[in-house]
Amino acid sequence: MDLSAVLFDRDGTVIVDRHYLGSADGVELIPGAGQALGLLRERGMAAYLVSNQSGIGRGYFPESGWHECQARLQELLAAFGAGFEDARFCPHAPEEACDCRKPAPGMWESLKKEHGLEASRCAMVGDKVEDLLFGVNAGLAAAVLVLTGKGAACAQKLGLDEALIRERGFVPVEVELPGACGSGTRLFAATDLAAAVRGLLAL
């Protein structure tokens, strides 16, 4: 698979899910994430962040909290020679019915327009069904569900074999995703971000 970029969810995928994180003090990389993102950069591939941040819309923390966390995340990743080329976040609460909250492809469309990304050369990695749907709705080449964060619970809900995923690290999966409005996206599951990156690079 000739990938040029990978899009990542943040909470539960790249960093530990703190549940409505609005303070830089709570930013903690999931083990292996920094090294994996560093490997992507070594291979000449871009990394982008796409994150639903309904805590802003719900009034739990200000938008400045997102920017503070993002700055801290980039600082932590820099120690691994890694970082995100760009990031998008949806600040809306679910009931606002915006077009940027995953699984809607609004954040993808924004990144695609600004950076000239090609869907056929991009993949998505996240810990929720919404992340898989985001990849499908955007028409990306691949979407990967990781078992960190809320991923294990999502895998169970989708009827995936968690033991097999943990044994092999990265496996193709066939699941029905309700609400999907695209096709052709290859779906996978991985133990964590590091396994997802290794698997994508091996395709």
**Per-residue model confidence as pLDDT tens for the chain (203 residues):** 899 999 999 999 999 999 899 999 999 999 999 999 999 999 999 999 999 998 898 988 898 999 999 999 999 999 999 999 999 999 999 999 899 999 999 999 999 999 999 999 999 999 999 999 999 999 999 999 999 999 999 999 999 999 999 999 999 999 988 777 767 899 999 999 999 999 999 99
Separation between Cα atoms, residue 16 and residue 29, nearest integer Å: 6
Q: Among 11, 17, 131, 192, which one carries the catalytic annotation?
A: 11
- How much is the pTM? 0.96
Which domains can be identified in the chain, with CATH numbers? 5-202 (3.40.50.1000)
Listed residue (186, 199, 203, 82) closest to 136, CA to CA:
186
Residues in Cβ contact with 59 at an 8 Å cutoff, skipping those fewer than 6 apart? none
Q: Among 9, 127, 131, 192, which one carries the catalytic annotation?
A: 9
Based on the residue annotation, tell me whether 11 is a catalytic residue of this protein: yes
DSSP H stretches of helix in 58-99: 63-78
